[in-house]
Structure 1
Amino acid sequence: MNISGAQAFASLRGLLSGSQPVGPSPTLLHPAFERLRSALADRSASPLDRAVLLRHALLFETARRGGSPDAEVELTEDWDVDWNGSGLEVARDGGVLRVQARPWTPRWLRGSDRGVDAWAASEAERRFAVGSAVAGDPFLARLGLDTYRSHGQRAATRAVLTTPPGATLAVVLATGEGKSLLFRLVDGIGFAGQLLDGRRGVTLVVVPTVALALDQEAATGGDDPRAWVGGASERNAAIAEAVRAGTQGLCFASPEAACGPLRRPLLEAARAGVLRALVIDEAHLVDAWGTGFRTEFQTLAGLQHELLAASPPTFEPRTICLSATLGDAARETLETLFGARGFRVLSAARLRPEPDYWIADPTDQAGRATRVLEALRHVPRPAVLYVTRVRDAEEWRWRLAAAGFGRARMVHGGTSAAERESVLDAWRRGTLDLVVATSAFGLGIDYPHVRSVLHACVPETLDRYYQEVGRGGRDGRSCLSLVVPAYGDAEIAMEINDTVVIGLPRGRERWAAMFNGPKRHLGGDRFALRIDVAPGEGAGDIDMVGERSTDWNARTLTLLARAGVLRLLGGAEQVVQDAVQGSWQSVEILDHDHLAAATWDRRVGPVRRRIAVANARSLGLMHNLLAQAASCPADLLRELYRDATTVCSRCEACRYDPECARRGAPDAEPVSPWPCQASVQEPVRSLLDHGNRLVVKLDEGMLARRRLPDVLARLTVFGLRNLVVFGEADPDFDRAIDSLRDLVVFVARDAIPGASALPPGPEIVLVGAGAPLRPAHLAARVTGQERILFVRPDARSPSRPQLPLDACHDGRVMPLREVQGRLLA
C-alpha cells in the first residue's frame, strides 16, 4: 500500500515512537519520509545518518503544512547522537524525546539567518506546472500518450523523426523534459518515410553506465532483454542475436560494449539495412577532456563511420546526440566527429530552475573541512560531495567514517568497474545517502531525488560545475547547491584547466609512436593502428602503457580528427588477425605531412588553442561566479549556454529581493532544422495545379466522415506530413486525425497556415467553420512548400465573400470523392 501527506507522516511518527513496528509497512510516497523509514530498518545506517534524515523529514513536513506549526515527532529512546550539532531541538518529557528541526544558520554563509536548506528540503515543485502539457501528434497514442511534456520535447521529437538517412542531429533538451521519448518513438514508429520490410529494426542507445542501461530497460518495459550487461553471457547472447536479425528494437549499451562485443552484430544489422539509429545519450561527454575521460566516447565516431559505410543507400542509420547542455566546443566536436553526412542542432535548452545557490567565502583547508562536515550534518539527502582530486576523495571518505556517517561511499576515476556499479546500484535503490566523488561520478545517473550537491573544491570550468549541480533536482523539485572554497583551489583549477588538452610536442610524439608502431595498411591512405602503444621511446615512456595512456592516445587521434589531419574509421578487428594482442583503431590520413612539426603548428595548433581558450573562458566564468556571489548565476550561465532560455532558480540576489527573480520567458518552440519532405510524390503531384496547391471541397456529413481519414492517410504516405487545423473545432477533423496514429504526421491545432512550428515542408490544411481564410492562404506555392486545403462545401472566397470559393479561385478545386478516386487509381 502507498500512502502520502498527513497519513504518511502519521505512519512515520508511529515508527519513530515505537507504536508501529519497524519492518514491512506502507510505502511512503514522499522521498523524504520513505528514505528515513528505510534507514530505520537498515543496520548500515548510523545514528548520525538517521538524525540527518529525520531533520529532512521534519523540514519537509513543516513545508507541506505551509510552515506552521513546526512538525514534531516523539522518540522513546535516545539515538546517542549530537542532536544540536545535527540541527535538531530535543525536549525531554519523562521517557519521551520530542524532536523538532531548527533552521541551519551558519555564520560563514551570507544571508543564512533564515536557514540554508529549508527550501531544498521542502521539495518545492519547480519545473512542471499543472496544465503545462502541450498538444500531441497522433503517433503518441502508440506509446499511450496524447500530449508532450513541453514545447521543447515536441520540437525535438519532430526534428528527430525528420532526420534524413545518414545525418546527425544534436538535440539539446532540458533535464526532465523527456529525452527518452525520442528513442522510444524511433523504435516504436520509425522515421518519416522509413520502410523496414516488416522487421522492427534496431535502435542502439549508448549510455554512460550499465546502471543507466538497466534503468532504461526497466522504464521501456517488455520481457526481452534490452540492456547489455558485462558478464551476463546468456542475456548478451540473446541481444546480439536479435541485433543481427534486426528484431531487437531498443538496445541500451555502454560505449565500451558498443565499440567492443556489440560491434559485429551492429555491422550485420547495418548491412541488412535494419539499423535505425545510433543514439548517444549525454553526448557532451564526447567532448570531455577532463578527469572523467573515457576513450570509447570519442571512438564512437569510428563506429558510426563503419555502420554508415556498411549500410545500403537510403538505409543508413541516423545519429542522434542527446544532451541537456551543449557548449560551442562540444558542438564543434560532435560535428567534426559525426557530421560527415550532414549535421544540425535542435536546441530547446533551459537553465535549471531547481537549484538554490549558496557560495561561501574562501577559508583555509582546515576551515573548509569544518564547514563541510557541518553542512553534511544538516543538508537534505541524498547528497553528493564533489572534489577534484582522487586523494581529496580518499581523505573525505576517512573523515566521513570518523565523523560517524555510515551510508556514505566514494567514487573517483580510479574506482574499479565492480565497485562503481555497486555504488550506483545502492544509489538507485536508495540505501546510500551520500557519495564523495570526483567528476567521474554522476554522468548519466538518472536518480531523480538528489536534494544536495556540495563542492569542496573549485571546478576547473563553469560547465563542469553546472553539470555536477545538475545531479540535483532531476525530479523537478527544489535542491541545494553549496560551494565551499579554500585558498589554493583556484591554482588547482587553473592547473587542471591548462593540462586537459595535450601539448603539441607531446601529442606529435604520441601520434608518431602510433603511426610508426604496429600497423596494417588497409589500402590507399587507410591504416589500422595500435593505440595502446607506449607514448614515446624515452626511458620514462617505455613502460607507460595501460588504460590511462591509451586514453591519451585516443585523445590525440580525436585532436587530429578535429584538425582535419585524419578521419576516424572505427575498430580494426575485422582486418587485423592478431587484434587480440592490443587495442586497434583504423584511420584515413587526410594530410600526408601529418608527422611534420609544421603541420602540427599550422593545423593542430589552432584547434588546441580554441579548446584551451574555451576552457579558460569557462574557468573565468567559474571564478566570476565565486567572486560575484551576490549576483545571479543565470547571467553567467547564459554566457556559457548562449541559446538556453534564462530562468532564475534561487540565489543570494533573489533571496534578498524576490522581485529580482526572473520568471523565465514563455516556452518558445524551435522548428526542426530538417524539412519533413523535399516535395510531394506521385500521384499527389498530378493533383496539384500550376501553383503547387489544391483546394478540396469536403462532402456533406457521413460521406466526409468516411472518406477524409483515408484521403489524409494516403496524402501522408505520398509526402504531406504536416497537418494544420485552422478554425473552429470539428469532430470529423478530430476523428480523421486520430486515425493517423500509425503514421508520422505532425499536427498543429488552432494554427495559422504557414505560421506554425511544424517542420518545413508541404502541408495539409483543414479549414473549419469560422476560419478567417485570407488570399495569402490560397496563394501559389514553391516546390517543397506545397499546400492542400480542405474546405467546407459552403466555403466563400476571401476576396469576394459574396461568391463561393470555387467560383473565383485561380487554382484547382476538386471534390473529396474525386481526390480519393485519383489517389486509389
Structure 2
Amino acid sequence: MKNQSELEILVEKYIGGKLEKLVIDYSIAENVVDMFALKTVKRLFIAYELYKGSRSFYEDFLLAIREYLLVFKTSISLPFRIPKTNDYAISFDDEKQRYFTSLQLPDGVITDFVNQVYSGNAPIETESGYILTTDPFIYHLTEFSAFKTHAQKLSVYGALNTPDGYTTLVSLPTGGGKSLITQTISYQKDGLTIIIVPTVSLAIDQVRVAKQIIKNRDVDAEIFSYSSDVDAAPIIKAVKDQTAKMLFISPEALINNQGFKNAISEANKKRYLKNIVIDEAHIVVDWGASFRVDYQCLESWRKNLIFSNPNLRTFLLSATFEQKSIDILKSFFSQEDKWIEVRCDELRHEPRYMVINNKSYTAKQKKLIELVKKLPHPMIIYVARPVEADELKKLLHENGINNVVTFTGLTSNSKRRTLIDEWVDDRFEIMIATSAFGVGVDKQDVRTVIHTYIPENPNAYYQELGRGGRDRLPCLSVLCLYIEDEKIGRNRISKRVLTTEKLVRRWDSIYNNVNSRRLDNKIYIDTTIKPNYALDPMDDSPTSDTDMNWNVYVLLFLRRYGLIRVDDVITENGKYIFIVQILDDALRSTDDALTNVIDHYRSLEWESFSGAYSRMVIATKKINSECISEMFYDTYQKVSEYCAGCNAHTTAIIGDSRDYPLKMPVREPKKLISSEAMAFVGDGDDMAIMAPNNVDISTMKILAKKGISTVILMNDETSSICNDIICKLDARNMFIIGEEELLGLIKISAYYFISGVVAVIYPNDDGKAFEKYRIVKQYLVGRSGIKVVHIISHNFEFKSIDKTFTELIAGQVTALENII
C-alpha cells in the first residue's frame, strides 16, 4: 500500500488522542490486500471507541490491536500500558517504547496457514492464454471491455445463448461474477426478468451493483427489489406499465403477495416476462424440504407460467451443485429435455483446512477461546443449534470478548437485516451462527470460519466455510471438535428422516382426511391436517407449525421419488394447499404395498443422509493422512483436484491449474441461423472474404451486420485490436474467442458455443494460415448447425498440397469491398 507509514502515524495519533477524527480513504486501496488492511484499521477504530465508552470492551480492543499489528507487520505506541501477561501475545519493546506482537498460536493450529493469511499476497491470475474480450452488446450495456475470467465469459454466453423455452443451469465459482449473467440476460431483449433471491440483503446488494454497472439507462425506473418493508405499489405499476427490467424478490413474496402474483401473471400472458432466474439455486433442494417451503412452490408457480408462455427462459445459478441437486432441479424446472448445463465448477482456492480434536468438552471450550483470541478476524463461528450460540456467546463474555452477536433460525427478520448490515459494516468482528446465516451475505473479508460440530454433509460444510475468503485472499476453515461430537451429529441427522411408520401414517392422515378434496384425478391436500395417530378427541387446538412442516416434508419426499406430481401450491391464510396427482397406485392403499414402497424410498433417503454424514466423519478422523478435499471431489463430481492445504499436507495441491474451465460437454442446442445470415453465406458449408486489413472496424462491422454469432481469432495478436473495436460497433452479441479457447471447446464437444455462423480470422502468414485452416476444416466446416466464413488478407498459397486457399472453399469467395 502506498503511504502505509503515513497511515500508521495517523492511527497512532488517533488512538493517542492527538487526532480528534480520522476518516479512512478507501480510494487509496490499489487491490484487495489494501482494502483488507484499511478495513482492519476501521475495525480497530470501532473497537477503540467501544473501549473508550466502556472498559468491558478492553479485551475486544486488544484483539483488534493484535490484528492490526499482524496485518500491517508493524509496532505501535499506546497511551496506556498493556499487561505483560495477556492472551494476545502483545509485548512491549522497552528500547523503542512500542508494542508489537507475534503469532504464538494454540496447539493444533498450522502456523504456515496463518502466515499465509497475513502474508498480504494478492491472488494469482492464470488467464493469460485466453481472450477475455466482451462484445458490443456487453460493452454498451456495462462499459466492460473484458471479462474477469474465461469461466465468467463461458457462463455469460452460456446464458445469453439460451433459446426460448429452455432452462440453463450455470455453476460459476464464488467471486467469479455471476451477477453479470443476470444483468446481461435482463437487457438482452425487451422484457422483464425476475431474479429469485434467498435474502433481503442479497437483493439489496444485487440491485446496488446492477445500478452501478448498467450504463445509459434509467435504472431507477427499471431495476427493483422487494421486501416486506418496501412499498410494493410503484414496483407493481412498473411491471404493469412494462418499464421494469429486473425484479429481485423472495419466493415468499412471489407466492403469497397477491399484487405481485396478479401483475406477473398479466405480464406473462402478454409475453413481457422473459426470464426467471433462481439465484443460489441449490437452496431449492437444501432448504425447501424443511425450511422456507415457498422454495418448493416455485416448481408449480413456474409450470403455470410456462403453460401460457412456453417461450419463458429459466436460469439456475450457483457456485457448486451436487449431482442429486441437479437431478431434482432438472425434474422441477425443465420440460421435454429443454435443459442446458454450463458447468464451470471449481473448488475454492482460498481456504486452508484444519481439524483440531480435543479430548473433552471442557478442553474444546478452552480451545475455542484461544482460537477466537489468536486466529485472524473477522470470524464466523458455526454452531449446530440456537441454544449453543447463546452458550458460546456467554462463554466468550466470561472471557472478556463482548463485541459478539448471534444469528440463528430464531433471529427475527427485522433483526437479521440489522445484523447483516452491521456485519458488513464491520461493527463487530465475531459472528456466532447456525446454518440459517450465510447465504447471500456478501462480506468479502472473512478470514476465519470455525465449525464447533460436524456438519451433516460435505455440501453443507462447503457452503458454510465458503463465507470466508470471498475477496480471493487466503482464509482458514477450522473444525474444533471433541470425541462425542460424532455421536451428537449422528443423533441430529437421524431426526431429519421420518421412520417408515410415521411416513405411512402421516400420508394416510392427509390423503384420507375429509378435508382433502378430490377433483377429477387431483387431490387438494391441506397441510395443516393433524396426523391421525396423534389425535385427541378432546383436542381442538390449532395445528402446530411442526405438524405442517412434517406434512410438507412427506409430500416433498413423495415428490422427490416420483410417487406423486405436484401441480400447484395454493396459500390460504398462511397455510399451504398442495394440489397433487398420484403416480404410484400403492399410495391409494393402506396395506403392505404402501408400506413396502415407502420403506424402499425411505431407506434410500436415510442412506443418502447417513452416507454423507459418514463421509464428513471419516474426513475428520483421517485428517492427518488423507486430504480433506477428497470428500469434495466425491460431492461435486465436476470439480478438479485442488487444495490449498490441510492437516495432511501444508503445500498446495494445484491439480486444476491447467484445466479448461468448462467441465462437461454442451453439444446442443445449436444456435439458429437467421435468414439474413443464411442468405449471406449461401448454400455451401463455408465462404471466404478477402479483407486486406483482416481485423479492422470495417471487417467487424460487416460481420456484425450479417449476423455472425462467433468470431475466432486464430492469431491472438489481434485480441487487443478487438478491444479497441467493440466499443465502435452497434450493440449486439458476438462471441469472440482465440485459438486456445476454440481447441478447449472442441475438445470438450461444446458446440453450443461455436455453432451458427462462425467467422474465422486467419494470420497473414501462408504457413500459419494452413495450420489454422486444417483445424477449422476438421472440426467446424461441414458440421451440422455451423456455417464458416473465412476472413483472409489474401489468397494464401498452400504449397504442401499445391492449392490456394480459395480452391478449398465450397462456397463463394468475395472481397470485403463488394459486401460493403
TM-score, scaled relative to structure 1: 0.86
What does the per-residue CA deviation read over 1:601-630, in whole Å, with 9 as the maximum and x for residues that have no partner?
565555444443333232222112211222
Is the contact between residue 390 and residue 412 of structure 1 (CA under 8 Å) also seen in structure 2? Answer: yes
- Structure 1 unaligned spans of 5+: 63-70, 191-198, 574-578, 821-825
The amino acid that maps onto 1:86 is Y
Structure 1 residue 331 and structure 2 residue 323: aligned?
A: no
| Displacement after TM superposition at 1:787 (Å) | 1.9
Paired with 1:591 and 1:99, the residues of 2 have a C-alpha distance of 73
Aligned to 1:617: 611
What does the per-residue CA deviation read over 1:216-262, in whole Å, with 9 as the maximum and x for residues that have no partner?
1111124348454433342x221222233332212112221222223
The amino acid that maps onto 1:625 is A
Is the contact between residue 526 and residue 576 of structure 2 (CA under 8 Å) also seen in structure 1? Answer: yes
| Displacement after TM superposition at 1:746 (Å) | 0.9
The amino acid that maps onto 1:212 is L
- Structure 2 unaligned spans of 5+: 30-34, 212-218
What does the per-residue CA deviation read over 1:743-773, in whole Å, with 9 as the maximum and x for residues that have no partner?
2221113459777566142322233412423
Is the contact between residue 40 and residue 50 of structure 1 (CA under 8 Å) also seen in structure 2? Answer: yes
Aligned to 1:194: none
Paired with 1:14 and 1:490, the residues of 2 have a C-alpha distance of 51
| Displacement after TM superposition at 1:159 (Å) | 1.4
Is the contact between residue 13 and residue 73 of structure 1 (CA under 8 Å) also seen in structure 2? Answer: yes
Structure 1 residue 173 and structure 2 residue 168: aligned?
A: no
1:746 to 726, 735, 753: 735
2:473 to 477, 488, 491: 477
Aligned to 2:302: 304
What SS is found at the alignment partner of 1:645? coil
What does the per-residue CA deviation read over 1:97-143, in whole Å, with 9 as the maximum and x for residues that have no partner?
73211223323x1x65x477343344543465696985123133121
Is the contact between residue 351 and residue 644 of structure 1 (CA under 8 Å) also seen in structure 2? Answer: yes
Paired with 1:539 and 1:479, the residues of 2 have a C-alpha distance of 52
Q: Is the alpha carbon distance of 1:817 and 1:542 closer, same or farther for their aligned partners in structure 2, counting shifts above 3 Å?
A: farther
RMSD: 3.4
Structure 1 residue 414 and structure 2 residue 410: aligned?
A: yes
Is the contact between residue 686 and residue 809 of structure 2 (CA under 8 Å) also seen in structure 1? Answer: no
Aligned to 2:205: 215
Paired with 1:230 and 1:794, the residues of 2 have a C-alpha distance of 63
Structure 1 residue 673 and structure 2 residue 672: aligned?
A: no
Q: Is the alpha carbon distance of 1:544 and 1:638 closer, same or farther for their aligned partners in structure 2, counting shifts above 3 Å?
A: farther
Aligned to 1:572: 570
State how 1:257-272 maps to structure 2 within 5 Å.
Answer: 257-261=253-257, 262-272=260-270
Is the contact between residue 170 and residue 321 of structure 1 (CA under 8 Å) also seen in structure 2? Answer: yes
What does the per-residue CA deviation read over 1:257-313, in whole Å, with 9 as the maximum and x for residues that have no partner?
2222233322222212122222112222122169983212222222221221231x4
The amino acid that maps onto 2:573 is V
The amino acid that maps onto 1:612 is W
Is the contact between residue 692 and residue 792 of structure 2 (CA under 8 Å) also seen in structure 1? Answer: no
Is the contact between residue 451 and residue 472 of structure 1 (CA under 8 Å) also seen in structure 2? Answer: yes
Structure 1 residue 73 and structure 2 residue 73: aligned?
A: no
What SS is found at the alignment partner of 1:50? helix
What does the per-residue CA deviation read over 1:534-557, in whole Å, with 9 as the maximum and x for residues that have no partner?
344523797573444333333322
Of stretches 3-12 and 640-649 in structure 1, the one that deviates more from structure 2 is 3-12
Q: Is the alpha carbon distance of 1:417 and 1:620 closer, same or farther for their aligned partners in structure 2, counting shifts above 3 Å?
A: same
Q: Is the alpha carbon distance of 1:185 and 1:666 closer, same or farther for their aligned partners in structure 2, counting shifts above 3 Å?
A: same
Paired with 1:132 and 1:476, the residues of 2 have a C-alpha distance of 21
| Displacement after TM superposition at 1:361 (Å) | 1.9
Structure 1 residue 698 and structure 2 residue 690: aligned?
A: yes
The amino acid that maps onto 2:387 is R
Structure 1 residue 352 and structure 2 residue 348: aligned?
A: yes
| Displacement after TM superposition at 1:175 (Å) | 0.9
What does the per-residue CA deviation read over 1:413-458, in whole Å, with 9 as the maximum and x for residues that have no partner?
2222222222212112211211111111112211111111111112
2:551 to 553, 558, 561: 553
What does the per-residue CA deviation read over 1:565-615, in whole Å, with 9 as the maximum and x for residues that have no partner?
223334336xxxxx3363333334434543435665565555444443333
The amino acid that maps onto 1:698 is M
Structure 1 residue 590 and structure 2 residue 587: aligned?
A: no
Structure 1 residue 713 and structure 2 residue 707: aligned?
A: no
Aligned to 2:637: 642
Structure 1 residue 187 and structure 2 residue 186: aligned?
A: yes
What SS is found at the alignment partner of 1:335? helix
TM-score, scaled relative to structure 2: 0.86
What SS is found at the alignment partner of 1:472? coil
Aligned to 2:227: 230
What SS is found at the alignment partner of 1:156? helix
State how 1:219-618 maps to structure 2 within 5 Å.
Answer: 219-221=209-211, 222-224=219-221, 226-234=223-231, 236-261=232-257, 262-288=260-286, 293-311=291-309, 313=310, 315-316=311-312, 318-341=313-336, 342-517=338-513, 524-536=520-532, 538-539=534-535, 543=541, 545-572=543-570, 579-580=572-573, 582-596=575-589, 600=594, 605-618=599-612
The amino acid that maps onto 1:723 is V
What SS is found at the alignment partner of 1:439? coil
Q: Is the alpha carbon distance of 1:733 and 1:406 closer, same or farther for their aligned partners in structure 2, counting shifts above 3 Å?
A: closer
Paired with 1:501 and 1:105, the residues of 2 have a C-alpha distance of 41
| Displacement after TM superposition at 1:369 (Å) | 1.0
Structure 1 residue 633 and structure 2 residue 644: aligned?
A: no
| Displacement after TM superposition at 1:408 (Å) | 0.9
Is the contact between residue 695 and residue 791 of structure 1 (CA under 8 Å) also seen in structure 2? Answer: no
Q: Is the alpha carbon distance of 1:175 and 1:701 closer, same or farther for their aligned partners in structure 2, counting shifts above 3 Å?
A: closer
Determine what percentage of the aligned residue pairs are the same residue.
21
Of stretches 298-307 and 53-62 in structure 1, the one that deviates more from structure 2 is 298-307
| Displacement after TM superposition at 1:636 (Å) | 2.7
Aligned to 2:32: none
Paired with 1:756 and 1:478, the residues of 2 have a C-alpha distance of 31
Q: Is the alpha carbon distance of 1:211 and 1:753 closer, same or farther for their aligned partners in structure 2, counting shifts above 3 Å?
A: closer
Of stretches 154-163 and 539-548 in structure 1, the one that deviates more from structure 2 is 539-548
| Displacement after TM superposition at 1:813 (Å) | 2.8
Of stretches 628-637 and 376-385 in structure 1, the one that deviates more from structure 2 is 628-637
Paired with 1:706 and 1:357, the residues of 2 have a C-alpha distance of 51
What SS is found at the alignment partner of 2:152? helix
Aligned to 2:60: 49
| Displacement after TM superposition at 1:377 (Å) | 1.6
| Displacement after TM superposition at 1:385 (Å) | 1.0
Is the contact between residue 695 and residue 788 of structure 1 (CA under 8 Å) also seen in structure 2? Answer: yes
What does the per-residue CA deviation read over 1:447-493, in whole Å, with 9 as the maximum and x for residues that have no partner?
11111111111222222222211111111011122211123210121
What does the per-residue CA deviation read over 1:126-166, in whole Å, with 9 as the maximum and x for residues that have no partner?
46569698512313312121222222212211211122223
What SS is found at the alignment partner of 1:147? coil
The amino acid that maps onto 1:454 is I
Q: Is the alpha carbon distance of 1:714 and 1:517 closer, same or farther for their aligned partners in structure 2, counting shifts above 3 Å?
A: farther
